[in-house]
């Protein structure tokens, strides 16, 4: 891609970011779930869990995540830290596609153990870059004795060549800072410049069409390739283009 064509593409994508990175984006997106809360830990827990449930239709994801939050009395942090065995039994009714009751119970177990020692989930994402941070988090998440192998498919890692779409989306929510009010920007240990693109099928197809991505697989190498191209458009905030690429794929199909 020549410098001239890149600048032309940047102009188009910046306009799309301006169009879609607006409060109106929130209500029809899974990010609406953590936007229900104000306490840091509630935002982190609801945001992480919703992100991990985010495959399939957005409407279904939002409905399922809302249901789960209601089952935790709309106070996820308080529920995590103070639940009874009876409360946990009620959660056994929750399922979403391949996310089963045993997975739900392990998530609760992890959060209770983690928040008994830390104030923020950002402390679990340590490393020199995003790949290292995601790997570190994966190891921390599955460090408990009662870990389940089946649950690993819900929390991905670059070491398995996964695109880690849902984790990268969660990091976007927590880290990105701007004046739009969509992303939270409540973490300060990770720079927006270091974020990696959440590569779903819509972003993948639009990026291929625009010539931003050559790789034919939606894996970690594709994430690295696309993010490197987006950094040429905005080195300080490359993942802001998630709004443009995703929305062009979902809302502008015609």
pLDDT tens-place string over residues 61-77: 999 999 999 999 999 99
What pTM was estimated for this model as a whole? Answer: 0.95
Domain positions in the chain = 3-250
- Mean pLDDT, range 236-246, rounded to an integer: 97
Q: Which two tokens stand for residue 139?
A: 């190891």
Q: Which two tokens stand for residue 141?
A: 């998440």
Q: What contacts 182, CB < 8 A, 6 or more positions away?
A: 21, 22, 23, 25, 26, 31, 243
Q: What contacts 219, CB < 8 A, 6 or more positions away?
A: 161, 162, 163
- Angstrom distance (rounded) from CA 183 to CA 177: 7
DSSP letter for 143, please. -
CA dihedral 126, 167, 194, 159 (to 10 degrees): 70
pLDDT in tens, 180-232: 999 999 999 999 999 999 999 999 999 999 999 999 999 999 999 999 999 99
- Mean pLDDT, range 50-66, rounded to an integer: 94
pLDDT at 145 over 90: no
pLDDT at 252 over 90: no
What does the pLDDT read at residue 253? 59
- Mean pLDDT, range 90-115, rounded to an integer: 93
pLDDT at 124 over 90: yes
Helix axes 58-71, 40-52, angle to 10 degrees: 130
pLDDT at 149 over 90: no
- Mean pLDDT, range 26-48, rounded to an integer: 98
pLDDT at 56 over 90: no
What does the pLDDT read at residue 211? 95
What does the pLDDT read at residue 249? 87
pLDDT in tens, 73-100: 999 999 999 999 999 999 999 998 888 9
């Amino acid at each position: 891609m020549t410098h001239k064509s890149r600048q032309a593409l940047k102009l188009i994508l910046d306009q799309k970011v301006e169009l879609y990175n607006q409060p109106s984006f929130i209500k029809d997106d899974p990010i609406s779930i953590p936007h229900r809360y104000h306490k840091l830990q509630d935002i982190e827990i609801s945001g992480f869990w919703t992100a991990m449930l985010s495959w399939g239709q957005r409407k279904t994801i939002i409905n399922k995540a809302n249901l789960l939050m209601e089952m935790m009395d709309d106070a996820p942090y308080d529920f995590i830290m103070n639940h009874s065995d009876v409360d946990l039994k009620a959660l056994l009714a929750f399922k979403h596609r391949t996310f089963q009751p045993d997975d739900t119970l392990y998530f609760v177990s992890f959060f209770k153990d983690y928040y008994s020692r830390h104030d923020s989930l950002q402390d679990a994402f340590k490393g020199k870059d995003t790949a290292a941070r995601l790997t570190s988090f994966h190891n921390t998440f599955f460090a408990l004795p009662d870990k389940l192998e089946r649950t690993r498919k819900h929390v991905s890692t670059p070491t398995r060549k996964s695109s880690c779409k849902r984790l990268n989306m969660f990091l976007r929510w927590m880290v990105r800072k701007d004046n739009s009010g969509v992303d939270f920007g409540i973490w300060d240990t990770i720079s927006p410049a270091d974020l990696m693109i959440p590569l779903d099928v819509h972003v993948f197809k639009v990026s291929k069409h625009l010539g931003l991505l050559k790789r034919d697989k939606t894996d970690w190498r594709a994430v690295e390739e696309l993010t490197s191209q987006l950094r040429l458009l905005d080195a300080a905030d490359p993942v802001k283009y998630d709004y443009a690429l995703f929305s062009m794929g979902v809302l502008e199909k015609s």
